[in-house]
Chain A
């Protein structure tokens, strides 16, 4: 139920919001819940609507989108070299903020065509992303419920 699929800096705030969403769904498995349950539900409904709008916005954009500060733009406005400032030693499964730049919105690993990094660096990135996925630091796929809701 996590929303860590967006490789954007808003990730942090988004996760914080979705914490409330997760909490409600988790209640069966965690018996000790504070009694503010009813309020929580109201909040969640509002947030759900916010998500819908956000998803609509995203639909209009092209599928590949990297956070602005990571993208150097040429005259044509085409994003290039997300990984131009990446040092080989920094690529580690622990460095989630760095690795999530190389994922698209659905959690897929970007191709070398899009990342424009060397073969050596790309191999390392892929290896470390897969390690991070195993440890549930990064998602394998975007949250299924969100995708289903979007198709509706």
Chain B
């Protein structure tokens, strides 16, 4: 059943601004690894870069926004969710289904 009914998802997350290039790439890579491990494919990445936050989060006034679009069976969302929730560098994230 997995793979057969993969769905289209869109994921945005906000990373804390003090991460350097390596830090960004490592978080980014971890997210992509988990998506692939959960049977996801066609990962497209858009980096919005550093933006001023509309309100401070954890005393940060800026955040680095990254967006991924991918296909994944719905069973994988829990794992992606968990990873983002527990990483300290992720200030906010939003995982949405975009195919309906």
Summarize A's interface: helix, strand, loop or mixed: loop
Give the number of A-B contacts (CB < 8 Å): 44
Neighbouring A residues of B53 by C-beta, 8 Å: 2, 136
Query: B61, A2: Cβ atoms under 8 Å?
Result: yes
Query: B61, A26: Cβ atoms under 8 Å?
Result: yes
Q: How far is the CA of A15 from the CA of B62 in the complex (A)?
A: 12
Neighbouring A residues of B56 by C-beta, 8 Å: 1
Q: Which size class do A's interface residues fall under?
A: 20 to 34
Query: B94, A139: Cβ atoms under 8 Å?
Result: no
Neighbouring A residues of B57 by C-beta, 8 Å: 136
A117 CB-CB contact with B under 8 Å: no
Neighbouring B residues of A65 by C-beta, 8 Å: none
Given contacts A1-B61, A26-B61, contact A135 B12 (CB under 8 A): yes
Give B98's nearest chain A residue, CB to CB. A92
Query: A135, B14: Cβ atoms under 8 Å?
Result: yes
Q: Which size class do B's interface residues fall under?
A: 10 to 19
Q: How far is the CA of A129 from the CA of B60 in the complex (A)?
A: 21
B30 CB-CB contact with A under 8 Å: no
Query: B54, A29: Cβ atoms under 8 Å?
Result: no
Query: B52, A2: Cβ atoms under 8 Å?
Result: yes
For residue B28, give the distance in angstroms from its CB to the closest CB of chain A. Answer: 17
Can you report 14 A-B residue pairs in the complex whose CB atoms are below 8 A from each other? A1-B61, A2-B53, A4-B52, A15-B52, A22-B52, A131-B96, A135-B12, A135-B14, A136-B14, A136-B55, A136-B63, A138-B54, A139-B54, A139-B55
| A residues neighboring B (CB under 8 Å) | 1-2, 4, 15, 19, 22, 26, 29-30, 93, 131, 133-141
Other A-B contacts than A4-B54, A136-B14, 13 sampled, CB-CB below 8 A, are: A2-B54, A19-B52, A22-B61, A26-B61, A133-B54, A135-B12, A135-B14, A136-B53, A136-B57, A136-B91, A139-B54, A140-B54, A140-B55
